[in-house]
Structure 1
């Protein structure tokens, strides 16, 4: 039985803004059991960075976990050789070379089309009308499910994200998630014959070419949709908001003193879009005097580690001049985000510079609330620009 101290939280307040609570946890109880989440949280950056690599102790294999139950056991929920085989199989889709030679031109084409279409309107919701659409179009080409409208891509992604973070066990949330995964299976069924006859670099195609099992193929496509839609969407909108509310930082980028990539990395540190990753304790382990027992559920709190006062000079400040290098926004171990290169290209090389180039005088038109503790991003973002 775990000896982790109990740390109670206000779940609603934690969803609205988890950072004050996480700061107290880092100081008072860096390894603590939170009954409202049913898990033991690791909140210090170096603890997460070191222990995420210990897959023999902190296992990603969670047969009873929400992701495995609702979406199938994807490569994120496998360790060792099983994980390596599937990661190698998908690499042709997400490699730096493929991103550069295949996906970037497509990212540029549809982003320009979206912004040119919206520009005469002079106002929109950055999250709903711009970021969601750019993210959805990118995911369509990368997954190979090109027949899905971008609105549907966002719907099925959000349904799965809600489902895998449904630790309160809301049956309505679970039902929506099941509806979304069933829809994705139908989209996969429709595309498989096409890609069998005309293979390409898409995720669905390269897995078929590698001979992965049908169950693994489907689970990995669902994994890509669940994270590949929400995370770029939330960073495109969130980074736009951060720039507009920090004009001194925007000036650094527009003047060429700081790159958009540096802005992307600092934002992902400051407001980690993927704020945590769950693990199952596979064998007894002691950390900071706390004894963890087999089958304990542990949450690696990336969002907390990225604001660790012992690592970052100004952890609570969006500051492009500080070193975001120690950030663990993409993870730290063998499960380091496979889509990192595609995400950096889409956001830092394409979406952000094009948004600020093609929407002159871009400005906020209202409040931009944020929400979420497992996945975090803006909930809406009304903006306007000059005609």
Structure 2
């Protein structure tokens, strides 16, 4: 059917207040799951799939719900990276970058570097007695890890954070704000300049970094740059938000913190449960490649679909206590890293950085760590804390 514009799915319409949805999307998503699990949201110009099992099934049907989105914001602003490809083209690039992100490389190369960089950040914070976990701890810890993984060791941590946020804002700029788009272009230009400076360095001394590995694999310059921008857009803000957010969740639940400190529950599980409860990546867009019907809803070619991971991770049909942070929660069905062929390639690095390094090292260094005010959260496509004040 048409809704005053291009052909769209015939899903029931569900209206939201964009500002309220950004502040807290979960009440609306809960209503959608109950009343209209596949719903067209005019304020977002997309049809949202909100139940976990539907997302899990449909994400794998790339012949219908395609990641190839030539006119999508990510492709237009950042170049066509492997996340915006399907089938053999996607798998070829995924294989090319595997030496950078494999479990073996993470264990043998990156984890020691993560620990050393995190130790330096903690050393700098220790005398202060208080900080904002987002800005002062999680941001530099995430950025230093990403500098090593991408090969852009010439980029300052604050600049890594800035360019990541600029691209994320650009990719979520469905309202078409020209200022947001301009900032995104400025950020991608900064990344390109840093890549230009590092190419001769890494060609002369190859390593396991994404820039070096892709060049040795023979990927084109355009592919290499697009995939590095992808890694920065997904590898800075999400770990940053998960580190600070999971720390906040634990500090807000003293019984959980006591169990973690006693070693009864691994820190890795606290991270995984936080990523289910407040999914740092709340949504992934798809383009409808051919006409199809799902759960009675007909999709037309070129429809825009959002797979709402953050909603699926709170599906009351799947999780016993979906709206609670609960270390006893069975999280086997969580889709925090995706569910299909586009399962996050950086998942092993993220798990090591957050669950093995950033969280346990923070709480070991500061045994008296406590919240020092209210935390603030925001976002729905990407969600995380804006500020987590703490003292020790």
Shorter-chain TM-score bucket reads over 0.9
Q: Is the 8 A contact 1:116 1:358 kept in 2?
A: no
Q: 1:349 aligns with which of 349, 356, 363?
A: 356
2:4 match: none
1:29 aligns with 2:29: no
Counterparts of 1:67-106 in structure 2, within 5 Å, are 67-106=74-113
Per-residue CA distance 1:235-267 (angstroms, 9 max, x = gap): 000000000001111112111111111111100
Report the number of matched residues: 385
Q: Structure 1 CA distance, aligned partners of 2:176 and 2:246?
A: 32
Unaligned residue ranges in structure 1 (runs of 5+):
none
Per-residue CA distance 1:66-120 (angstroms, 9 max, x = gap): 0000000000000000000000000000000000000000001010111012101
Deviation at 1:176, TM superposition (A): 0.1
1:186 match: 193
2:150 match: 143
**How large is the RMSD of aligned CA atoms in angstroms?**
0.6
Runs of 4+ in 1 over 4 A off after TM superposition: none
**Most deviating of 245-254 and 335-344:** 245-254
Deviation at 1:337, TM superposition (A): 0.2
Q: 1:316 aligns with which of 319, 323, 332?
A: 323
1:257 match: 264
Q: Structure 1 CA distance, aligned partners of 2:201 and 2:164?
A: 23
1:52 aligns with 2:59: yes
Q: TM-score w.r.t. structure 1 length?
A: 0.99
1:285 aligns with 2:308: no
Q: 2:69 aligns with which of 62, 66, 74?
A: 62
Q: Structure 1 CA distance, aligned partners of 2:194 and 2:175?
A: 30
Deviation at 1:218, TM superposition (A): 0.2
Q: 1:216 aligns with which of 223, 231, 256?
A: 223
1:155 aligns with 2:162: yes
Deviation at 1:360, TM superposition (A): 2.5
Q: Structure 2 CA distance, aligned partners of 1:311 and 1:189?
A: 47
Q: Structure 2 CA distance, aligned partners of 1:255 and 1:297?
A: 47
Q: Structure 2 CA distance, aligned partners of 1:156 and 1:314?
A: 36
Per-residue CA distance 1:153-212 (angstroms, 9 max, x = gap): 001110001000000000000000000001100100000111111110000000000000
**Most deviating of 157-166 and 245-254:** 245-254
Q: TM-score w.r.t. structure 2 length?
A: 0.98
Unaligned residue ranges in structure 2 (runs of 5+):
2-8
